[in-house]
Amino acid sequence: SHVTRSIVLVLALSLHHLFEGLSIGLQMSVSNVWHLTIAVMCHEIAICFSMGLQFYKTDKKLTKKVFVILLVACIIGPGGIIIGLAISETGGTEHDIGQNTVNGVLQALACGTFIYVTFFEILFQELGSGKSSLFNIFAMIGGFIFMALLGLI
């Protein structure tokens, strides 16, 4: 069960990284690239920590298989950026409606995969186990509030 959950987590996060990379690569202005890159970096910390914990729960030692899976998951994000750059370089101007639509759809898919991973993989496991404490719940709510305030800034 833990192995299957770990594989599904890595696949969902890899898809999320691909869409994130595509949305960063499709940005037309330098300031938009930096804003999106900083936003991605902020939540990548939590994602990587969660993925590391999931693999630690699965297998207490770092095996070659885990290393290869994590390496592939790390390469997918920059690969998405390269694909997004290739698409934006072949596209038109900043006001190109088709390219803006593709960018919006890719950002929505990245957000959707992140919401899926958060609610069905991480929170379900933490809060659905029956041993969650009041501190865990307040920490989760505090994290959501912090990220919302960070988004307002």
- Please tell me the predicted confidence (pLDDT) of residue 26: 78
DSSP strands (E only) in 41-129: none
End-to-end CA distance of the chain: 40
- Per residue in 53-71, pLDDT tens? 777 776 666 677 777 777 8
Check: pTM over 0.85? Answer yes or no. Answer: no
Sign of CA dihedral 95, 99, 104, 110: negative
Sign of CA dihedral 30, 31, 36, 39: positive
**pLDDT class for 149, splitting at 50, 70, 90?**
confident
Sign of CA dihedral 114, 25, 39, 96: negative
- Please tell me the predicted confidence (pLDDT) of residue 61: 67
Mean pLDDT of 81-109: 73
Highest-scoring range by mean pLDDT, 9-13, 76-80, 107-111: 76-80
- Per residue in 64-90, pLDDT tens? 777 777 788 788 888 888 888 887 777
